Structure 1
Amino acid sequence: MIRAEYVLGLSAITLLLALAVLFIALLLTLVQWLSWSQMTGMMNGMGDMMNMMQGMMGPMDHGMADGMRDMMRQMMGQ
């Protein structure tokens, strides 16, 4: 019989991996979208997207979304 801790540990690792992959995919999409918005000068769209992301992540991850927004502002040189 498989121990419960082992199964729980496996599912936690799987969940973390899935979240990491999702986060990386989101970052890549954001970077592509950012370079496009830089060319067209659509900075308002980025702010809306960040707010939308914060809404999706919920209150506990606001710090992470804020950190990402600050990082992007630095990248854009604002």
Structure 2
Amino acid sequence: MSLSESEFYEAGMSLPPDVRKHVALRLLESLESADQESIDVAWTSEIALRVDDIRRGTVKTVPGEQVFAEIAAKTASRDT
């Protein structure tokens, strides 16, 4: 038996709140795992490109402390 979207929704809404929450989280996780795989592949490629750029010397690296100091300064100037 296959349920339509509205039948599935109505069946879900008839569940107790704690069960409904558990089912909703499992459904979301099923979507996130598919998305996460494509995200991981994209980031792996991007990281490889960035490492290659650093090794070739085609980009300038900036120390993390400097980056965080600049961000803090910009944030502080916006807060005043």
Q: Please say whether Structure 1 and Structure 2 have the same fold, judged by a TM-score greater than 0.5.
A: no
Higher relative contact order (CA 8 A, sep 6+): 1
TM-score category by the smaller chain? 0.3 to 0.5
